[in-house]
């Protein structure tokens, strides 16, 4: 994998993850929150749960997904260096 491909793959990954980041916080926690409040999760209204709990769990998962995905990408670019 060339440095350019590595950077492109990284940018693609970033856009996907940041899109999810936006949807779970600004989307579910704020803009769509009142709409989601008609559903419930145990004793929580769903929009309220996303605003005060769910978004935070989502953030943690997103970072670890990125850590693992980048770990694989880094391996690819390092293997390439060794082949040379």
Partner 1 sequence: MSSQLLTYIFVSLSFVLYIGIAIWSRANSTNEFYVAGKGVNPLANGMATAADWMSAASFISMAGLISFLGKDGAVYLMGWTGGYVLLALLLAPYLRKFGQYTVPDFIGTRYYSKTARLVAVLCLIFISFTYVAGQMRGVGIVFSRFLEVEINIGVIIGMIVVFFYAVLGGMKGITYTQVAQYCVMIFAYLVPAIFISILITGNPIPQLGFGDTLLNSSTYLLEKLDQLSVDLGFNAYTKNTKSNIDIFCITAALMFGTAGLPHVIVRFFTVPKVSDARKSAGYALVFIALLYTTAPAVAAFSRVNFIESIQEKSYVDSPNWFKNWENIGLIAWQDKNKDGLINYSAGKPFDGSRPIFSGGVGSQGEREIKNTPISDNSNEVYIDRDIMVLANPEIAKLPAWVMALVAAGGLAAALSTAAGLLLVISSSISHDLLKKTFMPKINERQELFYARCSAAVAILIAGLFGIYPPAFVAQVVAFAFGLAASTIFPALLLGIFSKRLNKEGAIAGMMAGLIFTAGYIIYFKFLFSDLDSSLNWLWGISPEGVGFLGMIINFVVAILVSSFSTKPPIEVGQMVDKIRLP
Residues at the site binding partner 1, with contacts judged by CB under 8 A: 3, 6-7, 10, 14, 17-18, 21, 25-26, 29-31, 33-34, 37, 41-45, 48-49, 51-53, 55-57, 59-60, 62-64, 66-67, 70-71, 74, 77-78
3-state secondary structure the chain: CCHHHHHHHHHHHHHHHHHHHHHHHHHHHHHCHHHHCCCEECCEEHHHHHHHHHHHHHHHHHHHHHHHHHHHHHHHHHHHHHHC
Rounded to a whole number of angstroms, the minimum distance from the CB of residue 73 to partner 1 is: 8
Rounded to a whole number of angstroms, the minimum distance from the CB of residue 82 to partner 1 is: 14
Nearer to partner 1, 39 or 52 (CB): 52
């Amino acid at each position: 994998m060339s440095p350019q491909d590595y950077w492109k793959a990284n940018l693609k990954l970033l856009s996907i993850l940041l899109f999810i980041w936006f949807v779970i916080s600004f989307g579910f926690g704020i803009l769509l929150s009142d709409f989601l409040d008609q559903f419930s999760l145990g004793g929580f209204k769903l929009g309220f749960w996303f605003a005060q709990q769910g978004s935070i769990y989502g953030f943690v998962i997103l970072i670890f997904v990125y850590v693992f995905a980048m770990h694989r990408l880094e391996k690819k670019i390092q293997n390439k260096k060794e082949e040379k």
